[in-house]
Structure 1
Amino acid sequence: MVSRGRFIVYIVLIIITVLALLFLYNYRDKISRIAAPFILAAIISYLFHPVVIWLESRNIPRKYGILLIYLVFSVLVVTVMVFIVPVFINSAKELANTLPDMAAKYEGVFNKLTGFIKSSNWPSEFKNAIFREIQNGTAFVQNYISDILKKALSVFIETVSMLFNIFLSMVIAYYFLKDAGFFRESVLSIVPRKWRNWMIGTGREINSILSNFIQGQLLTALIVGVLEIIGLVIVGAKYALVLGTFGGIANVIPYFGPVIGAIPAVAIALIESPVKAVWTALVFIIVQQLDNNFISPRIIEGRVGLHPVTTIFAVLVGETFFGIPGMLIAVPVTGIIKVILKRAVDAIV
């Protein structure tokens, strides 16, 4: 049984959390623009921090260790830009050029399906319902492709903005890593003394959640993406590099990600032949089974500690309010909220 005082504290904390989320939602555009480089810097810091600690254990000063990491990272980025990115861009351009033809072929399939339904003896109400769904599906595909082509016109501007954010994030991440102790002490200095131990404990739990999630999810996405690219190449699927990369990135989204990542590849393969679509689907199914049973359990120990139902709910809420970025950050944010609420209740009651 939960005591009356504990229950009241839970309610108050939940109300505060809801109000904070509403504030974030109302000002989400401005907040996202400001927060984006800092969030990316935090992710970079979490990725590089274990290496910084390892270099420090080898008697390399933190400042020089970070610079060494940045140097190695820059060499890797340049290598990828020179040898991999051009292949990726050419494949993506080829895929973009074939999208209208793919849409036309699928529209032809819809028309054949419509003709079959019209000639059937099914009840008229049932036919009308199916026609509406087919029309909605066709309109969705056409609008989706149109949006892609329109957005392609602003790719240059978005790329410049993205590169600036990445550069700014790398600078911020450098100071996050170099002056980690300073930031920790600065935060603790404004916290009342009686709450400092609580703050330190909460920070450690949040740090554990974020480090496990960010490092684990990105490494898992990399492995899954590589396996999907290899699998798609083996079955002879078109645009294997682009579609496998997309599948790996989508895998970061819990539960929904693997399905989102597989849909484009299977849809493209289906135009070529049903058999190719089956083989393509099998690639994603096999890789997902490997991920669920071998890769993720070994890389992401314990994950964020959320129940599957809570995870699904968090992802849906994130998508509803913030779109794809919301789906990506929903799980760690929910895990952080859970830690803060639990430790706050334990401390107050």
Structure 2
Amino acid sequence: MSNQSISISTDTILRVIVVLLFLGFLFLIRDVLALIFIALILAAAFDPMVDWLHKFKIPRAVSIIVIYIVAIFFVGWSVYLLVGPITEQILSISQAFPHFYNEIQRTLGGTVDLNSLFNQDVINSSIADITKNLGKATSGIFSVLGSVFGGVISLLVVLVITFYLTVEENSIKKFITSVTPIKQQPYISKLIVAIQHRMGFWLRGQLFLSIIIFVLVYIGLLSLGVKYALTLALISGVFEIVPFIGPWIAAIPGVFLAFSQSPSKALLVGIMYLVIQQLENNLITPKVMGKSTGLNPLIVLVAIMIGAKLGGVLGALLGVPVALSIAVYIETLIGDKKNRDNTLVK
């Protein structure tokens, strides 16, 4: 049997070491990279609005400041209007839960033993914890927002980076191509434009979609006389980002609370959620989102789950943009390969 030897050049070993050191460095600065990525996402979302305002001879710097002021006002106004009433509604739900529980048990007429399905003490304890945390949110909403970004300083850093990425036209493309080898700059430039367009469209579309669902559910629950309509509508708006299961998870508490009022009302609420879901799937989502994101809902769900596992709330928020960037990168690779093949055929 002949002896076989594997020869690895010094150059190859050095390349592997450099790559490993580079990956280790990226891991060490992962928090900084996350802030930069968030800024890139916000810049991609703001850029079309800045371009639109710039058409009216408004300087880009002034346009960004105006957008910031409007966004801060909108968030503050939403917090002022929503957090207080929602906290009161959650507190009311916590206090009234035993009554709801007994009403449902009475309505079922003993056909189903809820005590064998649910632990009432555990549920009451969970609702009490939520109430306590929401109560703190009334006075500390900006601390909660800051914790998502890793602190107030980090939030300010994101806003500053976003400003500089947006203040100059095509600054995102210029920033990334400036740290790219000259040979790869045309490809990277095209890639950045595609990612920026797709990501900005997704972010604006998803926000608009959540607001539409929030309004529809709120109007529907109010018209049916369901208690705690504001809280239930907010749950629907938040869970709208989760494909497949999100809307159905959001419907469960609505049907449950309606059932505590009457079985017929629960049926009507269930039908309402179903109608809104069908409107969303067949009319609202195609109009708002179209096919521009190019992401399968299953991929979105997996991206959110992986992001949440790796980085908690922030990871879940970044999961879809990361998946979107990867999808655009793969699409450009496939598109370039097809173009080369067509050129060879000709």
TM over 0.5: yes
Q: Which has the higher contact order (CA 8 A, sep 6+)?
A: 1
1:253 to 1:208, Cα distance in 2 relative to 1, 3 A? same
State the partner residue of 2:130: 148
**What does the per-residue CA deviation read over 1:229-288, in whole Å, with 9 as the maximum and x for residues that have no partner?**
111111111121221122112112222221122222222222222222222222222122
1:332 maps to 2:321: yes
Secondary structure of residue in 2 paired with 1:306: coil
Alignment counterpart, residue 49 of structure 1, candidates 40, 47, 50: 47
1:88 is displaced (CA, Å) by 4.9
1:198 maps to 2:187: yes
1:327 is displaced (CA, Å) by 4.7
**Mean Cα deviation higher: 317-326 or 218-227:** 317-326
Alignment counterpart, residue 231 of structure 2, candidates 242, 253, 259: 242
The amino acid of 2:89's aligned partner reads E
User: What TM-score, normalized by structure 1, do the two folds share?
Assistant: 0.71
The amino acid of 2:123's aligned partner reads V
* 1:1-349 mapped onto 2 (5 Å cutoff): 31=30, 38=36, 41-74=39-72, 76=74, 80=77, 85-86=80-81, 88-102=83-97, 105-106=100-101, 134=117, 141-142=123-124, 144-149=126-131, 151-152=133-134, 155=137, 156-157=139-140, 159-162=142-145, 164=152, 169-179=158-168, 181-322=170-311, 326-341=315-330, 343=332
**What does the per-residue CA deviation read over 1:85-133, in whole Å, with 9 as the maximum and x for residues that have no partner?**
34651243232232253157438867999x8679xxxxxxxxxxx99x7
Q: Determine if contact 2:35/2:158 at 8 Å carries over to the other structure.
A: yes
**Structure 1 runs not aligned, ≥5 long:** 1-15, 119-129
1:226 to 1:191, Cα distance in 2 relative to 1, 3 A? same
Whole-angstrom distance in 2 between the partners of 1:162 and 1:66: 21
1:53 to 1:85, Cα distance in 2 relative to 1, 3 A? same
1:108 to 1:240, Cα distance in 2 relative to 1, 3 A? closer
Q: Determine if contact 2:90/2:127 at 8 Å carries over to the other structure.
A: no
Aligned-residue CA RMSD (Å)? 3.9
Secondary structure of residue in 1 paired with 2:57: coil
1:301 is displaced (CA, Å) by 2.3
The amino acid of 2:46's aligned partner reads F
1:184 is displaced (CA, Å) by 3.1
State the partner residue of 2:7: none
1:345 is displaced (CA, Å) by 7.3
Secondary structure of residue in 1 paired with 2:295: coil
1:208 is displaced (CA, Å) by 2.4
**Mean Cα deviation higher: 299-308 or 50-59:** 299-308
Whole-angstrom distance in 1 between the partners of 2:261 and 2:56: 55
**Structure 2 runs not aligned, ≥5 long:** 1-18, 147-151, 341-346
State, as a whole percentage, how many aligned pairs show the same letter.
26
